[in-house]
Structure 1
């Protein structure tokens, strides 16, 4: 089942003739063709991509980077430029290709590299065509095909051909493809998919990751060998492969074992032992990526972390399990697809769909979930990065899909208390106390721990939602390392907050924190609110002496399937107290439901558009 290496070049014929004219995009993929061939013990894939550059801004895509590694090898790189007449005007030279490490700033070691080059022309439009062959002998997947180079660049036509031996047990999954077919020959099976990405997508607030809307084809063997023999028959069998891959990696040096025993000596409460060891992990190790050989899937040994005091999520989770085991506590390695927006697990396509590892510790009536890569994460806290999604819990002969608990209203509640001392010159001295939980807690906890004072000061001053103000002082305060709450206290001078009105004065209410959803005609993607959005404000306005509030102080209560809003006033002894509370429920809303959600948000905003008028006392 050999495919000629010249076949990708034949696909380039007549492409200029099919080019759409006067395209509004800076660049576009005219053609994206891939041919994947599976043979005994290896697979290869030839990609041929043609990018049309329409203007100078589109030249960002004249830089081509092709990733590879020691196990995923690249060869047969070729590239050229054709002008608008379809004539080849420049070809790639071997000296044009450079090689560099793909090591990131959070990595210590990586086996990942990049071959890159750039071809440019000065007359638009023109096309860059490039082709290369990837070969791999150690693999879990045959292909994970997404024919898109950038979410801002349309793909006009894409085609994937897979050639596999007859009777090869495999699984496949396709999403957002426009056509597929299967042909059987005397030598094997040919599978084909067509796809396109004509309408580019932009990131939107509270939307799932853009790649969840891209065309996607994946194929994986039923049986594979990657470190050890594995099987994708079920999540249990796939988890057992991961379990076997980790065999023997939890052995600790004797010195480390003795230290663990000293730390937990005399402690009988299981949860307290876990907390002691979790703090020990946080205080004595740091996260750094290590990816060598099959390090992308296999953890480094616990002894490595014990000696070097660093590791990636896999290594640190394996080490956490090792020190728990040393203390006589059972735990589980858990694979999860982490991110602020949960990605749906494709349950009926057993495969590697995960990018992160954590630890689960079963207790008598509960389960503790441990994030091992953070030195500042509260004990047992699963934040927005990992909450509310399915994961694969690894257990010998009993691996299974589990659900990581969701953040509740109380876990996400941010409260703000502000006291404004209003003066007739229009200014106000103001004291604020904010208490952050949930996503706000995570951001300010990171700011408090990882940035220097100057960087903190800049961000906090920019965070204040006032139009004309001066920050006098501020203080970030975290009550305890295991409290998932952090406080911000500050004093400010506000200017021109109280405005004159024909002998009277008026001011507007400090606005509630509400997601900035765009108008209905501008929204293009479904809404996904992955955790509760809960905010409350207590606003205390001290009225200038000799003045009184004359505005209507009737409260309001709004309730809908999306959430609720409450606004209440209390006026007494020269003080106006305003209490507000906004709750948006976690849920997924289709695009046709967005107008109703947007109306609810607008009702809240309208409720807050009231001026508080002050008149002189009689």
Structure 2
């Protein structure tokens, strides 16, 4: 450890003096496609013991334009287990002359408390310089912290996104002789270097230099698959007297199980109540549905994040008394309710969030931020989102769906996959009756049934917006050039794959165009797709459609035309096939009644970069088909 503190001392004495702050000294290649350039990014993480470490991060960034202004801010989180011991900063002009040094008054200190966080010791310090009148300018930050929660080691991401280049960056981790580091390198030009000290300790060092700015291509993979990253994690750790070891997923599960064992006991009066509630249910699914509804009716979600409380649940009997809990507590409480009626369930740790990436399955570590409940039921498995007040039992949406979760079991934890929602689950089935007037205006009665992921936004609006806000929200979603919304209504259909039915009554202005004796009628009223962004240069990254493109849409639109019009031509059926999906459309005419039927099924997934041209071609053909107009001529 003496070597580490010598390194820190040397950096402290020389780093601020060694940088050439002049923007003109930045190589031209690093300015290309960049809004900011990271001149220096130096992180030192010194592990003193399984329960204590110190971290020092020194950064110098030159901001080239207003799009890079966010780099002039430094935000650092802390809590009862971490302490910010030093925070400094300085601002320089384009010529490298000092404009301002950071003062205490320039640093804000605030809680991350929100209306659903009842107990939370997490805080933030944020430092920002005033908006500068001219570019470029340079900011410099030094942050030093001590850490006493070594469940987590840093993740090194010197190039944190697109339009950001890196001139020079280093990451150094030092460990005492009795400890070992686990790490995972991604997208690095050169691997890290390991050296040993005379006392047997080890130092791990990663470097990055002259990394050009990236611009993420449309539908490209997530940032972590493109930018240089080093994930680090402990083998042995200690937090608030709790000791653990993580080399496998089972190790992590064993720690979580031990931390929470014996906290699933409920009062006897509650036990009798749930037994009475489920006495007519003979199946596991029936009991789960009854008790899940009981949970939703009698508890509410409140976040509790106090030290180890971020991972250790409140006891079930306390949740029974208080009627609230965080994801751990409500999951544990539901597990206790089910246990009382003879149903076995297990918590499952998961990385939740609509845009969160899946866990790195080959790197066992504390990557999770949420807990759900897994209920085995023969060949089926039910997953319960215990923090939701309205989700049906068994449905987890894309908040925790289609990713790996760590199933916590007493006899061996393991990774499992949460439900994957495919095209057949995510449907939009729309039926529209349209009456067109002699002037080209129209009235439309629209009935749409959304299922799976396609119903999520509507359920959220139904439960979290009042009637007026629902109307405003809906007006923004209807893609018709000129219309009036007369009435609207929704009906929920709970289930493993839930559904919402929407009914609309619309007045549409000048939907058809009258020109002389002709009537021009667009056929697709509400579901037209736009073309994809075309290629401007050779594609480099894979095409990542994820699961956002797993859907199945069908539209059946019946048009009542004004009397006396006949079609000028016959419209041939359209069929477009692709590896990404299939599109069909056809028209039938019966006097002044025409029926337009459109159907598109899309498939998500990851495709090679060469497939992007096919994607653009497919979307171009679909967009053209969706713009089809029918021409009618009025009889004399």
Q: Which of 123, 134, 142 is matched with 2:145 structurally?
A: 134
Instruction: Find the counterpart in structure 1 of residue 533 from structure 2.
Output: 518
Q: Which of 494, 503, 520 is matched with 2:508 structurally?
A: 494
State the Cα distance separating 1:412 from its structure 2 match: 0.4
Whether the 8 Å contact between 1:419 and 1:431 is mirrored in structure 2 is yes
State the Cα distance separating 1:446 from its structure 2 match: 0.5
Provide the rounded CA distance (Å) in 2 between the counterparts of 1:498 and 1:583. 28
Verify: 1:184 aligned to 2:199, yes or no: no
Please show how residues 421-500 of structure 1 align to structure 2 within 5 Å.
421-480=435-494, 484-500=498-514
Whether the 8 Å contact between 2:161 and 2:223 is mirrored in structure 1 is no
Instruction: Find the counterpart in structure 2 of residue 221 from structure 1.
Output: 234
Provide the rounded CA distance (Å) in 2 between the counterparts of 1:226 and 1:354. 17
Structure 1 stretch 135-144 or stretch 450-459: which is displaced more? 135-144
Change over 3 Å in CA distance of 1:280–1:516 after alignment to 2: farther
RMSD: 2.5
Provide the rounded CA distance (Å) in 2 between the counterparts of 1:590 and 1:16. 42
User: Normalising by the residue count of structure 2, what TM-score does the alignment of the two structures yield?
Assistant: 0.91
State the Cα distance separating 1:392 from its structure 2 match: 0.9
Provide the rounded CA distance (Å) in 1 between the counterparts of 2:476 and 2:110. 38
Q: Which of 545, 553, 556 is matched with 1:528 structurally?
A: 545
State the Cα distance separating 1:240 from its structure 2 match: 1.1
Instruction: Find the counterpart in structure 2 of residue 161 from structure 1.
Output: 172
Instruction: Find the counterpart in structure 2 of residue 609 from structure 1.
Output: 627
Whether the 8 Å contact between 2:338 and 2:345 is mirrored in structure 1 is yes
Please show how residues 39-118 of structure 1 align to structure 2 within 5 Å.
39-41=48-50, 42-55=52-65, 58-118=68-128
Whether the 8 Å contact between 2:588 and 2:596 is mirrored in structure 1 is yes
Whether the 8 Å contact between 1:499 and 1:505 is mirrored in structure 2 is yes
Instruction: Find the counterpart in structure 2 of residue 417 from structure 1.
Output: 431
Q: Which of 618, 623, 628 is matched with 1:600 structurally?
A: 618
Change over 3 Å in CA distance of 1:587–1:123 after alignment to 2: closer
Secondary structure at the counterpart of residue 361 of structure 2: coil
Q: Which of 558, 570, 590 is matched with 1:540 structurally?
A: 558
Provide the rounded CA distance (Å) in 2 between the counterparts of 1:6 and 1:318. 47
Instruction: Find the counterpart in structure 2 of residue 390 from structure 1.
Output: 404
Whether the 8 Å contact between 1:147 and 1:155 is mirrored in structure 2 is yes
Provide the rounded CA distance (Å) in 1 between the counterparts of 2:214 and 2:285. 49
Secondary structure at the counterpart of residue 478 of structure 1: strand
Instruction: Find the counterpart in structure 1 of residue 291 from structure 2.
Output: 277
Instruction: Find the counterpart in structure 1 of residue 587 from structure 2.
Output: 569
Secondary structure at the counterpart of residue 268 of structure 1: coil
Whether the 8 Å contact between 1:236 and 1:397 is mirrored in structure 2 is no
Change over 3 Å in CA distance of 1:309–1:518 after alignment to 2: farther
State the Cα distance separating 1:35 from its structure 2 match: 0.7
Please show how residues 287-366 of structure 1 align to structure 2 within 5 Å.
287-341=301-355, 343-366=357-380
Secondary structure at the counterpart of residue 627 of structure 2: coil
Whether the 8 Å contact between 2:422 and 2:551 is mirrored in structure 1 is no
Provide the rounded CA distance (Å) in 2 between the counterparts of 1:93 and 1:339. 37
Change over 3 Å in CA distance of 1:95–1:464 after alignment to 2: closer
Q: Which of 120, 130, 136 is matched with 1:125 structurally?
A: 136
Change over 3 Å in CA distance of 1:198–1:309 after alignment to 2: farther
State the Cα distance separating 1:56 from its structure 2 match: 5.5
User: Normalising by the residue count of structure 1, what TM-score does the alignment of the two structures yield?
Assistant: 0.93
Whether the 8 Å contact between 2:82 and 2:146 is mirrored in structure 1 is yes
Whether the 8 Å contact between 1:527 and 1:594 is mirrored in structure 2 is no
Change over 3 Å in CA distance of 1:60–1:287 after alignment to 2: same
Instruction: Find the counterpart in structure 1 of residue 20 from structure 2.
Output: 15
Provide the rounded CA distance (Å) in 1 between the counterparts of 2:43 and 2:223. 22
Change over 3 Å in CA distance of 1:301–1:515 after alignment to 2: farther
Secondary structure at the counterpart of residue 554 of structure 1: coil
Change over 3 Å in CA distance of 1:123–1:493 after alignment to 2: closer
User: How many residues align structurally?
Assistant: 617
Whether the 8 Å contact between 2:116 and 2:302 is mirrored in structure 1 is yes
Change over 3 Å in CA distance of 1:427–1:123 after alignment to 2: closer
Instruction: Find the counterpart in structure 2 of residue 33 from structure 1.
Output: 42
Render the CA deviation track for 1:274-294: whole Å, top value 9, x for unaligned.
100001111122222211111
Verify: 1:586 aligned to 2:604, yes or no: yes
Structure 1 stretch 161-170 or stretch 408-417: which is displaced more? 161-170
Provide the rounded CA distance (Å) in 2 between the counterparts of 1:138 and 1:35. 17
Change over 3 Å in CA distance of 1:201–1:284 after alignment to 2: farther
State the Cα distance separating 1:520 from its structure 2 match: 2.4
State the Cα distance separating 1:207 from its structure 2 match: 5.1
Change over 3 Å in CA distance of 1:517–1:259 after alignment to 2: farther
Render the CA deviation track for 1:494-547: whole Å, top value 9, x for unaligned.
111111233111111216453763222388753223152211110111121111
Change over 3 Å in CA distance of 1:316–1:517 after alignment to 2: farther
Change over 3 Å in CA distance of 1:530–1:107 after alignment to 2: same
Change over 3 Å in CA distance of 1:617–1:268 after alignment to 2: same
Render the CA deviation track for 1:224-271: whole Å, top value 9, x for unaligned.
234633222211122111111111221223333232223223432221
State the Cα distance separating 1:456 from its structure 2 match: 0.4
Q: Structure 1: any 5+ residue segments left out of the alignment?
A: none
Whether the 8 Å contact between 2:151 and 2:238 is mirrored in structure 1 is yes
Structure 1 stretch 535-544 or stretch 582-591: which is displaced more? 582-591
Secondary structure at the counterpart of residue 307 of structure 2: coil
Change over 3 Å in CA distance of 1:26–1:342 after alignment to 2: closer
Change over 3 Å in CA distance of 1:439–1:307 after alignment to 2: same
Whether the 8 Å contact between 1:376 and 1:481 is mirrored in structure 2 is no
Q: Structure 2: any 5+ residue segments left out of the alignment?
A: none
Render the CA deviation track for 1:197-222: whole Å, top value 9, x for unaligned.
63244595x55543453322122222
Secondary structure at the counterpart of residue 410 of structure 1: coil
Provide the rounded CA distance (Å) in 1 between the counterparts of 2:279 and 2:152. 46
